[in-house]
């Protein structure tokens, strides 16, 4: 199943391109110039920054970049994510880095301000460590004080994304991205089952949602036609 999803992920932009093949042949020169990147956007996720400030159990940041190739955006995200929870009987913390790469298809191709309404896919990968200290008194089996650790756990997953990017002022764009995350796989662990994967989220359910609210700066690299 996952193989099919990867193939779909690769073919999606090609399929969209195939519909326009006749036009491409007739106006080859024009299209060739269309496929030249016109700018690179660098941005960051404001939600991660906000959560790091105001949610005491979370620390993290995420930076984003995309480059336009005609109606497609090659997208790259890189971030850091750490959780720290305390309960009466346990202390849990994790920390790790993650990245996402993928392609978005823009449906606002004729917008002169380079605004975008897009749908896309991502491949996500994370490497993280966890510490879990349990100090409990089970009514049947008695006391337990145990420290569990996972080091350098690797996880990967897929995402379907959608969102918008809107020009606010000169070189500044803002946007949001909603992510439907699925097909999580993790490397084997010994005595601790991962609870939270940086970049993905909680592991108790096979799918999860994510949301980014992003601020971008666009650097033009070619003259727009």
Partner 1 sequence: MKRVVWFALFLVVGVSCLDQPDCFRQDLNLIGISFRKMYDGAADTVVLLKVSATSTDSVFYENVYGATFSLPLNYLNTNTTFVIEQLVREYLDGMSQTDTMFLSHSSKAQFVSEDCGERFVVSNLQLLRSTYDSIEVVSATPSNPAHINIKVYRCPRTNIMRMSFRQLYMDKNDTLSRGKLDSRPITSIINTDAVTTPWLQDTTMSAILLPLNPNTNSTTYNFKFDNGDSNSVTFNYHIGTEQIIPKCPTQNLYSQLDTTTNTFKILKISKDSLQDPPVTNVETFRCPTTNEIKVSFKQIRGSSKVTDTLHITSLTTDYLGDSSVVSADTSAITLPLNPDATTTKYTFNVTGETTSPLTLQLKYTTTTYVFHSVCGTQTIFTELAIDDANTSFYSANMIALLPDVRFPSVTNIEITRK
Q: Which residues of the shown chain bind partner 1 in the complex (CB under 8 A)? A: 47, 57, 85-90, 92, 132, 134, 136, 138-142, 144, 146, 148, 164, 166, 168, 174, 176, 178, 189, 191-196, 201-202, 204-205, 208-213
Dist. CA 185–CA 136, nearest whole Å: 30
Instruction: Please identify, using beta-carbon distances, which residue of 24 and 160 lies nearer to partner 1.
Output: 160
* Measured distance CA(42)–CA(9) in Å, rounded: 23
CB of 163 to partner 1, least distance (A): 9
Identify any residues that bridge with 196 across adjacent strands, giving them in sequence order: 202
- Return the H-helix or E-strand segment holding 73: strand 72-86
CA distance 224 to 142: 71
**58 or 70: CB nearest partner 1:** 58
Shortest distance, position 26 Cβ to partner 1, whole Å: 38
Question: Smallest gap, in angstroms, from Cβ of residue 138 to partner 1?
Answer: 7
Please state the closest distance from residue 132 (CB atom) to partner 1, in A: 5
- Which H helix or E strand runs over 102? strand 90-106
Comparison of 87 and 109: residue with beta carbon closer to partner 1: 87
CB of 76 or CB of 148, closer to partner 1: 148
Report which DSSP code applies to 195: -
Instruction: Quote the least distance from Cβ 110 to partner 1, whole Å.
Output: 19
Residues in the chain: 225
Distance separating alpha carbons of residues 29 and 49, to the nearest angstrom? 44
Q: Which is nearer to partner 1, 70 or 213 (CB)?
A: 213
């Amino acid at each position: 199943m996952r193989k099919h999803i990867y193939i779909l992920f690769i073919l999606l932009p090609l399929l969209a391109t195939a519909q326009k093949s006749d036009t491409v042949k007739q106006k080859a020169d024009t299209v060739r110039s269309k496929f030249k990147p016109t700018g690179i956007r660098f941005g960051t996720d404001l939600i991660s920054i906000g959560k790091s400030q105001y949610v005491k159990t979370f620390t993290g940041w995420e930076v984003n970049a995309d480059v336009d190739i005609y109606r497609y955006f090659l997208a790259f995200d890189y971030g850091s994510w750490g959780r720290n929870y305390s309960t009466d009987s346990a202390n849990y913390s994790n920390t790790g880095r993650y990245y996402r790469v993928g392609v978005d298809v823009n449906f606002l191709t004729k917008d002169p301000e380079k605004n975008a309404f897009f749908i896309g896919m991502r491949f996500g990968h994370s490497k993280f460590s966890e510490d879990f200290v349990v100090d409990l008194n089970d009514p049947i089996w008695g006391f337990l004080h145990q420290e569990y650790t996972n080091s350098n756990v690797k996880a990967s997953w897929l995402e379907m994304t959608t969102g918008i990017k809107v020009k606010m002022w000169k070189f500044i764009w803002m946007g949001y991205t909603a992510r439907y995350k699925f097909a999580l796989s993790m490397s084997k662990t010994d005595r601790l089952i991962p609870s939270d994967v940086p970049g993905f989220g909680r592991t108790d359910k096979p799918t999860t949602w994510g949301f980014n609210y992003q601020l971008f700066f666009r650097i033009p690299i070619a003259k727009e036609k």
